Structure 1
């Protein structure tokens, strides 16, 4: 039997734990389930992402001076983080031998029998500068163009991008989004009624599979704060929980721009250490999608900050709805209930995993 060569387009180069780990999750799942497949992460270098994650961000724009100064201050942390991510990618990701950019990405047409774009926010108008290559516009054969659990942040496309968004997706062989709202948006804009909703790739692997990746414990008896951005309201929630449970606070932060004597800050660690920090925490407070995802996978006592009114963070809210998880959103109205029916959650995950397998079989085994 001839091997089917599958190329995955995703944000593997980002200095973002969720982006890299979801890439590994999809790669590993396909490897496990489809013996006749050779799957690679296409080592595509997006100009916008490359610029966003430069250790030092120089700019003549006076509105970006603070960002420039912060990047200089955090240079050593960013460099350490980059080294750790490069090491992880080299060890765990099946990267294409050739490195691609916008000028030579068309060369990959002769390399792969199938292209999958996703997961993560590959179709978000802002994340990668609306880079058309994450929409597989370089792929010549429409029958080779598929997505898996592609996502957006706000589930809104600016008016001046609607036509381009529609034209980029309308001729895909198959379309899969991560959120129902994203699927509805794609269906509305393209007129297609065949968009599938599939689970984030991090859920495609079992807790045992992630145990093989996670690093050893770094701390004991701690509450982990894993933020996207900085929210002092979230920190105050975490302090109250930690005090009540007599836990130290560990804050995983890429920006050492502030200090707090009650908090142990940790920066620059790689994806393996990130997984280990979640795995061994006694409690987790986060506002990140993948911080939430791995808290669920590991059956942790965790709480998610969704804004002051508790109604933001649509991607996390969608996750909670899918798994019927309640009382995990930080709000002045919610009591911190620590009981979750993990057996029920695991059944939901198993069902979604089967759904994902069925979808991937439909695009790989045809």
Structure 2
């Protein structure tokens, strides 16, 4: 395939969170000293899935950490409960650990660590940490604050139950969760489905706020990007596909022809062999989270079936397509997210009945982000007001 000549100053990143040209992001020879606090100075415990070997989980935890810092607190990320998953996720030098330990305070395994005695707040973070099948079976009510003393203030920040409808928790577990949620001083979730679960199953009123990746200052992402090891010399389509199929492959290949570009393909780290086979394209082997983020930043177009892939495409002002199979249980979550910015048009159904040619025009259609930015600013203001009311010192 003939490649277009690469113009290094082609893409400017401009949105309500900041304005930068990608050539302003200079890679240093080594990582900087981030000046982390001592753990005994920390006052806010954050439970998240930063160790989950998922780019969205890593970066959403990082984003919340930075937002909490901005609100005047000194956060510390709780480590993986020993009962959760396997020791494969414990590596501090792995894809998740290397970034998080570089930029964030991380607690030791024991929640009772004496260094954390000054902590007076527990935050349940973003992502699907309230999904029973994914986390709750092994950790009980850990992510609902069951791991901390009753007198500690408990808040949730854009937490989610994930894609399993209602979860498969037994009644006794639901009672435990309901008891814990009733002790929260503030509950926020990231979409209407999660708010409905809180109301129906736990009689708990929940506020819908933006995921922290939308609330983190752009400078925090630039810090990651400037430290990334990025080697692309030609323009490209960025793809991040967690659940591929033949239709998704065809849509990506069509985009390569229409835009006359190669693609850089990323897949689910946790299911690498399966995801690679499902997609059927050459894929990029495991990269660090900052490299993944930098790859979106420098791309010409984004194709994804990932919630966080969409979030960062919007943040970085990229034209994009969201590929959603008809049996994909999270398609309503995508529809709600896109509706906030009036970008529902970018959603492409990728089941066998879909004539993909009806959606090829998206590769040629730019997104006028001025309107989306105005809506984003309003949502950011509302979300930050809620967080300031419940978290700020």
| Higher relative contact order (CA closer than 8 Å, sequence separation 6+) | 2
RMSD, matched Cα: 2.9
TM-score (structure 1 length as normaliser) = 0.81
Post-superposition CA distance 1:229-256 (Å, at most 9, x none):
3323211111111111111122113325
* Other-structure match for 1:83: 94
Are residues 1:251 and 2:259 paired? no
CA contact (8 A) 2:181 2:204 kept: no
Post-superposition CA distance 1:13-68 (Å, at most 9, x none):
1111111111110111121232xx211112243533335748xxxxxxxxxxxxxx
CA distance in 1, matches of 2:89, 2:334: 25
For the structure 1 residues 365 and 296, does the alpha-carbon distance in structure 2 shift closer, same or farther, using more than 3 Å as the test?
closer
The number of aligned residues is 332
CA distance in 2, matches of 1:49, 1:111: 29
SS in 1 for 2:366: coil
1:283, distance to aligned residue in structure 2 (A): 1.3
1:4, distance to aligned residue in structure 2 (A): 7.6
Alignment of 1:1-366 (within 5 A): 5-34=43-72, 37-50=73-86, 53=89, 83-96=94-107, 98-100=108-110, 104-105=111-112, 110-130=117-137, 131=139, 132-142=141-151, 144-154=153-163, 155-158=165-168, 160-161=170-171, 162-193=174-205, 195-214=206-225, 215=228, 217-219=230-232, 220-253=234-267, 254=269, 255-256=272-273, 263-308=281-326, 312-331=330-349, 332=355, 333-334=358-359, 336-337=361-362, 338-365=365-392
Q: Which moved more, 1:283-292 or 1:311-320?
A: 311-320
CA contact (8 A) 2:256 2:262 kept: yes
CA contact (8 A) 2:193 2:333 kept: no
Gaps of 5+ in 1: 55-78
CA distance in 2, matches of 1:313, 1:239: 23
Post-superposition CA distance 1:163-205 (Å, at most 9, x none):
3432331221211111121112102222233x11111111112
CA contact (8 A) 1:149 1:197 kept: yes
SS in 1 for 2:336: helix
SS in 2 for 1:48: coil
TM-score (structure 2 length as normaliser) = 0.76
CA distance in 2, matches of 1:305, 1:360: 32
CA contact (8 A) 2:122 2:152 kept: no
